[in-house]
A and B are shown apart, each in its own frame.
Chain A
Amino acid sequence: MYSKKVMELFRHPHNMGKIENPDGVGKVGNPVCGDVMYIYIKVGKNEKGEEIIEDIKFETFGCAAAIATSSMITDMAKGKTLEEAEKITRDDVANYLGGLPPIKMHCSNLAADGLKAAIADYRKKKPIKPEK
């Protein structure tokens, strides 16, 4: 049913848990549908001065696909600039996992949305600096 990679990440998820005082949180999904994902991010800067995902963690209620996609996106996004991270799609996540069963593409593949929501949350909270 699931690819090896999905089962591996389901059994041993990376970056599981909460970040205290995160810079952004993305909450997606619906408990009624059986999948809910919280993505926490900490934003830093690289040597070029661009904003990057310095740390990322997740908490997920859901099936093996939901847990594996959550873990996958944390690995894919870590160290990326916000602009790069935002470009990660649901299909990218599924491809990195070696594919997902068709029914799970729709309901459990929420991680890319969760990351986008976390970045949007960060941008919303960030104080707008006056232009020089």
Chain B
Amino acid sequence: MKKIYMDHAATTPVDKRVFEVMRPFFSDKFGNASSIHAIGQEASDALEKSRKKLASVLNADPAEIIFTSGGTESNNFALKGTAFANRKKGKHIITTKIEHDCVLNSAKWLERQGFDVTYLPVDRYGLVDLNELEKSIRKDTILISVMHANNEIGTIEPIEDIAKIASERNIYFHTDAVQTTGKLKIDVKRLNVDMLSISSHKLFGPKGVGALFVRSGTKIDALLHGGGHERGMRSGTENVAGIVGFAEAVKIADKEREREMPRIAKMRDKLIKEILDNIPDSYLTGHPKKRLPINASFYFKFIEGESLILKLDDKGIEASTGSACSSKSLKPSHVLLATGLKPEDAHGSLRLTLGKDNTTEEIDYVIKSVSEAVEELRKISPFKKSFEKV
């Protein structure tokens, strides 16, 4: 059976062109970038070239790029590093209820270290309320961290407005751009952010590598201490092959973005429209307009998401859900609950995230298959009309 991958917000395959530029750095150009002999310097050159490549796409200075092991490390680094470096100035941090777990759990850990954290609510579309943000700012607020776009529902947050509010009050602003890099234009000067997290494997690069942009002059402590790599900000022998691939993937994504994203958004719009039209009691999650071009997310009443994912998998379609039944915890998606969904509805969620290899024929097949899978599960479900009291 042909497989249709529609889980690009989870991860993406490595682009063949990316793999080709990485290949020599495994067995031939294997040097340690800290070594002074020729093969070490070759690695060091490749590393610095990659840094320049990434900086140029982001409109940043190469010295403002710190390579990390990925989105989770970048977000941990931004929150913990800024909190500890600025704790004499204040102990208050503002973030949102819909951040990725790596931000939320870093924030919770900081609370246990004596910091105060405000978790901003969002509206039914997942948008942060700027008035709420302004109201929550205190004299001792040192950091605001709001994601650029949400990974589950695709809502794009007004981060330029948030950056303005933060900079006017001299508060550091970090954004998690793991979902947006390669899909939206990322210009750190225009966005006016102090820190920005990126992950490679979301944009057709290899896993295990990412970066944190840190604006020059930002007070931040290192997370990993050791031999002083990345100018002392992130010790550990650099993942040269990964970094070379990552920078190439960012370059390709940026170059092809203006051509690819409108095409993908068109397929996404068809997917949303026809699923909502064809399936009774189906609803869109996230913002109808301000959303990632790759994201189509829904919930279907009377059925549970994990079953839906497995039914779709049987039909060759790879997708994901925010249902608790597919997660390690027993709570449904914190993002869907924050948008006001009832837990029983959040259990029926489906996220389809498109990539450059998806085709319009696949979209038609997915629409048909989702309709069938929902119908099959509703046949088994005791809830045909509405949730009855149990």
A34/B381 contact (C-beta < 8 A), A62-B307, A64-B310 known: no
- Please report the C-alpha to C-alpha distance between residue A63 and residue B390 in the assembled complex, in whole angstroms: 18
Given contacts A34-B344, A38-B382, contact A27 B390 (CB under 8 A): yes
Any chain A CB within 8 A of the CB of B332? yes
- Structural contact, B325 and A13, CB atoms closer than 8 A: no
**Inter-chain contact total with CB atoms closer than 8 Å:** 73
Complex contact A31–B328 (CB within 8 A): no
B344 touches A31 (CB 8 A): yes
Q: How far is the CA of A72 from the CA of B307 in the complex (A)?
A: 17
A10 close to B344 (CB less than 8 A): no
Residues B304 and A35 in contact, CB atoms below 8 Å apart: yes
Q: B304 near A34 (CB under 8 angstroms)?
A: yes
20 A-B interface contacts by CB (under 8 A): A11-B314, A16-B379, A16-B380, A31-B344, A32-B342, A33-B324, A34-B332, A34-B343, A34-B347, A36-B382, A38-B382, A59-B380, A59-B381, A60-B381, A60-B382, A61-B382, A61-B383, A64-B306, A103-B328, A107-B325
Q: Distance (Å) between the CB of A82 and the closest chain B CB?
A: 23
User: CB distance A62 to B325 under 8 Å?
Assistant: yes
Which residues on the B side are within 8 Å of A7 (C-beta)? 310
With A and B bound together, what is the CA distance between A117 and B303 in angstroms?
23
| Those 6 A-B pairs whose CB atoms lie nearest each other, nearest first | A31-B344, A59-B382, A63-B325, A63-B306, A34-B347, A32-B343
Number of B positions contacting A (CB below 8 A): 25
1/0 per residue, CB under 8 A from B, across A87-122: the answer is: 000000000000000010001100000000000000
**With A33-B330, A64-B310 given, can you name 17 additional A-B contacts, CB distance below 8 Å?**
A27-B390, A30-B390, A31-B343, A31-B347, A31-B387, A34-B347, A36-B383, A38-B382, A60-B380, A61-B302, A61-B304, A61-B383, A63-B307, A63-B326, A103-B328, A103-B330, A108-B325
Closest residue of A by beta carbon distance from B379: A16
| In the complex, chain A residues whose CB is within 8 Å of the CB of B382 | 27, 36-38, 59-61
Indicate whether A29 reaches chain B with its CB closer than 8 angstroms.
Answer: yes
A27-B347 Cα distance, complex, nearest whole Å: 19
